[in-house]
Structure formats: structure tokens, C-alpha cells
Amino acid sequence: MKRYLILEDGSYFPGTGFGAPVITTGEAVLNSGNGDYTATITDAANFGQIIAFTDPVIGNVGINQEDIQSLLPKIRGVVARNITAAPHSRYAQFNLDDYLKRHKIPGITGVDTAALSRTLLAKGPLKASFMDTADEHAFDQIRALVLPRDQVKQVSTKQPYASPNIGQDILVVDLGVRHALLRELSRRDCNLTIVPYNTDADAILGFAPDAVVFTSGPGNPNDVLPVAETIKQLQGHVPILGIGLGGQLIALANGAKTALTEANHRGGPFPVREIATGSIWQTMQNHSYAIDRASVADTPLIVTHEDIRDHSVAGIRHRQYPVSGVLFYPEADPEPTDATQLIDEFMEMVAVTSHPHGEGVINDA
């Protein structure tokens, strides 16, 4: 079935439809990962987006549970040069095509993704739509389209829930949490409480966590400023780690600014330097917004990591408080594991700063 991906700049890309035969709209972004299409499709940080894969083939090992990052994928479409079924792959619990159909996500294959990614690299994310025709009416519709700004609300859990274990009490503020993060923390025996994005500081401290993690998630951090406010209130009371969107919010909470990135930060492995040691970590990233490096200067933050390619801020830390944020995924499983040491270091720090159980009871004022 011939379908079109049409973009707000007036360009369109023909291809063959697969997945769900539905018409959707969203924000087209490119992803330059290799072989991690399952993680990308199921990453809640990609909510509302139409993902253009530069990977020349996707679907080649099917979809398997190990790589899934959220139960219900919330992307609006998949664009590929080639998709393959994986009837013979022992990993495949589903075929990509079937999986997308089940989750009502359309796909288009046979697309000139090389040209598409050049467009997206040059122009940044663009409004886009899957259509059966590429007429003027379709373009009008896209231009009129207003993209949602409540993505975090849509992906975050509605209720707190627990993932019990015997170690440190870690509270995870779900801005679009990836299973890989929960697995990495569970692997370190963390007793996890996962709460909605809009849980306020008081309620968070009410769980008496040893540390709080603000997860990665979708969209512009400026659309969820109340979360930055929460971070501001928590700082100094509890160690905080922010990842992706969570990291950007730590920046905003301390007076730094964020802006759209110029270079591609979706996919990887991308090399990041830990400034203190000079070590290079190969990291997976997935964000459109960067922390404005100049704006960090007047804040209590210091830059701890930088992307080697564009020298953009990849990690920050608070000068006084045990608060740090990164713009890459330190959770491995199954990404390059270079950056998992960040979680180890965070847990060591938590072990030092946390109160022994039974002491330091927080009194409701």
C-alpha cells in the first residue's frame, strides 16, 4: 500500500505502508541508533513523535521483551528504508509489523531516509503526518496542526507504585521512565517507589526516600516547569539524579536555560567526556533540547560532562548539594555500558548521605 510521510516544510516522502493503516500526525525526528529500534519505539521520551530511522534495516531481530522500555509505545509512526520480518529469530516475540499493528502505530518503509535525515538534521524536528495522499489539503492540515505540550502528563504513571527490593529507598519520578533504568536500579537492590510526574516535593519527602531520580521523558522541559520547581524544593534535602528531561529540569531549577540542539542527539553511541577524569563514555542519547552552556555560568551548577562532538553540556552537578543531571542514558541494558558507572557512583553517594533507617524521621510540620 503506497503511503506518504508529509512534512510541514512542504516536502513529502513516498513509501509502502506497514503497521497500522491509520492516519497520524506528530513531530518527525531522526534516530541514528543501530539495532536498538525496539528501545526507541518503546521509549516514552519519544511520545508523539514520528521516528525516522537512519538504521538501514529495522525489524531484523523482531521485538523482544528484553529491549522494550515501556509497556505501551506512544510514538506516532515509524519511518524506515527497509523492514524485515524475523520469523527465524529466536529473540523475536513479535514481528515489528504485528507489534505496530497491535499498538495502532503506522509505519512506512522503502523511504529515502537518507534524504529525510538530511532534512531533519538541517531543520530540526518538523511537524509531519502519515497520509494516503500527498495533496495540498494534507499540507494545510499539518500546518494547522498544534503539537501537544502535555506529553509528560500522558506518559507518566497516574498512581504511585512500588517495585520492592531490599536495598536503598529510591524514589523515581516518572517523566517517561524506561524499563532499563528500573532494571539497573533493581540490579543494585534498590527499593523503588515510582510516582507521577506531578508529585510535589512535600509528598516526595513523605516517602522518606534515600534519593530521588527524575527520569527521562518527552518534550520541552519548559512545558513542565512545575517539576523544576519541585526539584528546587527538594535540593538540599535529598540526593537527586536527573536523566535526560530530568537533567534538563535540574538545569532549569537552578537558573540555567535550555534550547533546541543543533547537532543530532538522538541515537548513538555518542562520545561523552567526563570532565574530571577525561574518560570518554560511549552513550545513548535521546533529546532535542540542550542545556545552554553559557547560561550555566551564573548558576550554582558546574558542567561535569560534555558531548565531544559539539561540546554541548552532557552532565551537570550542583556545587553544594548532591544533585546531578545527565543528558544521556546511564542505564545500560542493552546499551553500551560505559556510563553505568554513573549509577554506581550515585548509589555510593546515596549510601554515604542517606540516613540509617529509623533515624531522621521526617515530621509532618
Partner 1 sequence: MPKVLVLGSGPNVLGQGAEFDKAGAAALAALHAAGYETIVVNSNPATVMTDTASADRVYIEPVTRQFVSQIIRQEMPDAILATFGGQTALNLVMELANDGLLAELHVQMLGTPLNAIEQTEDRELFYNLLRNLNEPVPQATVVEAPAAAATFVQRVGWPVIVRPAYTLGGTGGGIAHNDKALAAFVQNGITLSPTGQVAVERSIDGFREIEIELVRDHADNTAVVATLENVDPVGIHTGDSMVVTPAQTLSHTEATRLREAAIKIIRALAIEGICDVQFAVDPNSDAYYVIEVNPRLGRSAVLAETATGYPVARVAALLAIGRSLAEIPLSPEGAAAPTTAASEPVLDYLVTKLPRWSYQSIGADRRIGTQMKASGEVVAFGRSLEESILKAMRSLTWDTDDEYLTRVAQFDDDTLASHLIHPEDDRLFAMLEAMHRGYSVSEIAELTKIHPYFLERLANIVAMIKAVAEHPGDTETLLAAKRLGLSDRRIGELWSLPTRQIRAVRLAAGIVPHYTVSGTNDGNRFGPPKLYFSTYGEAGQQTPMKKDAVLVIGSGAYQTRQGQEFDYGTVHALNAIHRSGYAAILINCNAQAVSTDRDHSDRLYFEPLTLEDILNVVDAEQPVGVLTQFGGSTAVRFQEALSAAGVPLFDSPLTELPKQSLKEPLKLRGRIPTDPAHVAAAADQIGYPLWISPSKRHFAAHAHFITSAEVLQNFLTGAHLPADQVIRLQPYTDGATYEVFGLKDSTDVYVAGIVEHLWAQNANVDHMLSVFPTNHLSAKQRTALGRVAETDIDQMNVRGVVQVTYIWQRDHFRRLYVQTIGGGSLPFFAKASGIPLVELATRIFLGNTLKELPLPEMTQTKRQTVYVWAPVYSVAKLTQQADDLNVTTYHTGEVMGKAGTFAKAYYKTLAAGNNPFPDHGNILFTVADSDKAQALKLARRFRAIGYQIQATPHTANYFQKHHLPIQRIQNKHAVALSMAPAHNTDGPQAIVYTNDPMDAASIRDTVLIRNVTLVQGIPLFTELDTLGALLNVLESQRFATIPQGAEPEEDEEE
**Which residue in 64, 186, 198, 233 binds partner 1 (CB under 8 A)?**
64
Q: How far apart are the first and last CA of the chain?
A: 63
User: Based on CB atoms, which residue is closest to partner 1, 84 or 198?
Assistant: 84
Position among 10, 22, 91, 298 found at the interface with partner 1 (CB under 8 A):
91
4 contact partners, CB below 8 Å, separation of at least 6: 12, 13, 14, 15, 108, 130, 131, 132, 133, 134, 138
Q: Does 335 bind partner 1 (CB under 8 A)?
A: yes
- Which one of residues 61, 142, 195, 342 is an interface residue with partner 1 (CB under 8 A)? 61
Binders in 124-153 for partner 1, by CB under 8 A = none
Part in contact with partner 1 (CB under 8 A); list of ranges 109-117, 168-176, 252-260, 314-322: 109-117
Q: Which of residues 200-239 bind partner 1 (CB under 8 A)?
A: none
Q: Where are the alpha helices (H) located in the chain, listed in sequence order?
A: 37-41, 96-102, 113-123, 136-144, 151-155, 179-187, 201-206, 225-234, 245-253, 293-296, 340-353
Pick the piece of the chain touching partner 1 (CB under 8 A) from 213-221, 235-243, 295-303, 330-338. 330-338
**Strand, helix or coil for residue 77:** strand
186 binds partner 1 (CB under 8 A): no
**DSSP 8-state symbol, 314:** E
- What lies within 8 Å, CB to CB, of 290 at 6+ separation is 258, 259, 260, 261, 265, 312, 313, 327
Indicate whether 67 belongs to the interface with partner 1 (CB under 8 A).
yes
Kindly give, in sequence order, each residue whose CB lies less than 8 Å from that of residue 243, ignoring residues fewer than 6 positions away: 181, 213, 214, 215, 216, 325, 326, 329, 330, 331
Residue 267 interacting with partner 1 (CB under 8 A): yes
Among 141, 233, 282, 299, binds partner 1 (CB under 8 A): 282
Asked if 310 is part of the footprint of partner 1 (rule: CB under 8 A), the reply reads: yes
The residues that touch partner 1, with contacts defined as CB under 8 A, are 30, 32-36, 38-39, 54-57, 60-61, 64, 66-67, 81-82, 84-91, 110, 112-115, 117-118, 121, 262-264, 267-271, 273, 278-280, 282, 308-310, 332, 334-337
